[in-house]
Amino acid sequence: MAAKLPVPCHIAIVMDGNGRWATRRLLPRVAGHKQGVDALRRCVHACIERGVGVLTVFAFSSENWQRPADEVSGLMELMAMALGREVAQLQKAGVRLHFIGERTRLSDKVRGGLAQAESATAHNTRLVLNVCFNYGGRWEIAHAAAALAARGEPIDEVGLSRAMGMAHVPDPDLLIRTGGEKRISNFLLWQIAYSELYFSDVLWPEFDEAELDAAIADYARRERRFGQTSQQVVAIPIAEKRTA
């Protein structure tokens, strides 16, 4: 019998390439983002089937406000639409939703939708889906430090980790970026200290189960050392090497 590959407990994804996917088809960029929602739906179900516990995706960055106004409003509408259309299915599939990011600049409709989706799925346990929306890694760290300072608590590693928007999940084991660029773009700066990085040339709307399996297979070949030597970690199975 073939040995079962270790599956990452937490996968994070920079879903890049929607715009190029649309432009190559002479479509507006928002059409690429719509297709991106379909790819995300597929990915959520594929993660559940493979036993991944946490999926974190970058849906809208703090810097994305600088995009053309019609693209920004298209992404906001898409979020409102996706909340209306997808939450019941996610609920049925046992997915718990969390939205990470600054909410004050969002419309009442989107803000209300996020809160409603979180409370409707709060008791689900099959997969945690973190959607980073109006999110930046530097914002998250600065926000956590400000919260600790306001409470008069020490600004140290343990305190900061606990004050992060992502404090409810372990750090990502595997970070995937689609779309061919090899950068982090202000995503999860604190949490990816020891994540394995995987870059795919595939544009996000075309990211499918086979691409996910390729990323997981690549991850399974990595030796995670967390600062130790190869000799120290060689006897420890990968499942026990995950960050707590």
Binding residues for ligand FPP, rule: CB under 6 A, are 15-20, 33, 36-37, 40, 59-60, 64, 75, 78-79, 82, 179, 204
Residue 17, C-beta contacts closer than 8 angstroms, at least 6 positions apart: 32, 178, 179, 180, 202, 203, 204, 205, 206
Decide whether 33 or 163 has the Cβ nearer to ligand FPP: 33
Least Å from the CB of residue 42 to ligand FPP: 11
Least Å from the CB of residue 58 to ligand FPP: 7
- Known catalytic membership, residue 156: no
- Compute how many other C-beta atoms are within 10 angstroms of the C-beta atom of residue 138: 11
Least Å from the CB of residue 169 to ligand FPP: 19
Residue 191 CA to residue 243 CA, distance in Å, equals 10
Decide whether 64 or 116 has the Cβ nearer to ligand FPP: 64
Nearest alpha carbon to residue 162 among 186, 181, 178, 140: 140
Please, how many CA atoms are within 13 Å of residue 185, restricted to the half-sphere of its CB?
22
Least Å from the CB of residue 94 to ligand FPP: 20
- Known catalytic membership, residue 64: yes
Decide whether 20 or 45 has the Cβ nearer to ligand FPP: 20
Decide whether 154 or 180 has the Cβ nearer to ligand FPP: 180
Sign of the torsion formed by the C-alpha atoms of 232, 234, 235 and 238: positive
Residue 197 CA to residue 213 CA, distance in Å, equals 15
Spatial contact of 35 and 199, defined as CB atoms under 8 Å apart: no
Q: Which residues are catalytic?
A: 16, 64
